[in-house]
Amino acid sequence: MFTFNFNFPKDSLSLDELSNYSPWLEKILSSTSSKPIHRKSADSLLREYGIDKWGTLLKQLKMTQVPEVSIADSLCLGPDRVSAFFLNNKYYTAQLYDIHAAYSAFVMQVMAHYSKPNDHIVDLGAGYGSLSLKMSRIPTFSQNTFSLLEFTQPGVDCINLLSSRSQTITNIGLCDLNNLDISAYDLPAGSLFFTSWVLACLPSYLSSTIQKIIDLKPKYVIHFEPCFEFYNLAYPLSSFLWRKYTFLNDYNRTILGALTTFEAESKITFDCRVPNIFGCNPLCPISLLVWKPL
Ligand SMILES: C[S@@+](CC[C@H](N)C(=O)[O-])C[C@H]1O[C@@H](n2cnc3c(N)ncnc32)[C@H](O)[C@@H]1O
């Protein structure tokens, strides 16, 4: 249904070769720990994103004459950083910037499929706005409006700098998916909500959060998220590595389960579930989950 437009190298990597691109394979195989190495908490995430990632980016963007999202992407992802990625059940290498460009193009393809002109698009956990800002600038989405909501103030500040007062971006502000209150943003019923690599950072996808999203009457809710529950299909060796990587990094392991509980109660229905589509991080590929309220 959805395809990845990626001019990837014809030679894939073996798992042994993959270990040249990630210190994690050795860590995973040697770890006997029954506890995560990197515990996630609100404080650790505020440190990781608010200070280290988006905080550093904000300082760099403030020194840039014309802050642009492509410049922000280059500052975060390049230049000349070769990295491994996962696609079609194989591992490859490419420039990190190009891997993320292919991922952005995939996100846009899915969002274009589910949206109509004039639909409002809500990006929850938008980071520095990379995906939505790019989306808002291409003709396919020229008639859509956007809300970019993010957990960290430096992320919000980056979005404000990069959005250059675009007319189609109607809300930029804070949100916390662990304690969701976005009523102040006045989001229209029938909006499309999406998350990309955000639920993964949370301890769980809370029932109260899912219910609050349902109460906002979305047209569709689209998740581009790693789903631990899908790390058990074919390819048992890769699945083992992905499960252990997810555990050691304390990423969410119950995203799909949280939603299937709502499905079992006939509160939502899935439109699409595609496991393990792509891994910008080869040890944690994302799946596509699309649902809507019943
Ligand atoms: C890996 S980044 C992804 C950013 C963006 N969605 C993307 O794909 O480019 C994870 C983002 O989730 C945000 N985040 C972490 N905890 C959150 C929470 N409780 N509520 C909303 N966003 C959160 C972080 O601040 C960070 O911007």
pLDDT, one tens digit per residue, over 16-48 is 999 999 999 999 999 887 888 888 899 999 999
Q: What is the mean pLDDT of residues 226-239?
A: 89
Whether residue 120 contacts residue 219, with contact meaning beta carbons closer than 8 Å, is answered with no
* Strand positions, DSSP E, the chain: 82-87, 90-95, 120-124, 145-150, 169-174, 192-196, 220-225, 268-279, 286-293
Question: Distance between CA atoms of 203 and 64, rounded to whole angstroms?
Answer: 36
In terms of Cα–Cα distance, which of 41, 93, 21 is closest to 249?
41
Order the strands of the 120-124 sheet from edge to edge: 90-95, 82-87, 268-279, 286-293, 220-225, 192-196, 120-124, 145-150, 169-174
**What CATH number does the domain located at 15-293 have?**
3.40.50.150
Q: Quick one: DSSP state of residue 149?
A: E
Question: Distance between CA atoms of 53 and 57, rounded to whole angstroms?
Answer: 6
Residue-level pLDDT at 37: 82
pLDDT, one tens digit per residue, over 121-132 is 999 999 999 999
Domain ranges of the chain: 15-293
Write down the pTM of the prediction.
Answer: 0.97
Q: Please report the atom of ligand 1 found closest to the CA of residue 127.
A: 27
For the chain, give the mean pLDDT: 94
Judge if the beta carbon of residue 49 lies within 6 A of ligand 1.
yes
Judge if the beta carbon of residue 48 lies within 6 A of ligand 1.
no
Q: Please report the atom of ligand 1 found closest to the CA of residue 224.
A: 8
Pocket test for ligand 1, best of 49, 198, 223 (most atoms within 8 A of CB): 198
39: Cβ contacts below 8 Å, ≥ 6 apart: 250
70: Cβ contacts below 8 Å, ≥ 6 apart: none
Distances (CA, A) of 24 to 5, 19, 246: 28, 8, 11
Which residue has its alpha carbon closest to ligand 1 atom 22?
125
- Cis previous bond, 79, omega within 30: yes
Judge if the beta carbon of residue 150 lies within 6 A of ligand 1.
yes
Q: What is the mean pLDDT of residues 165-170?
A: 89
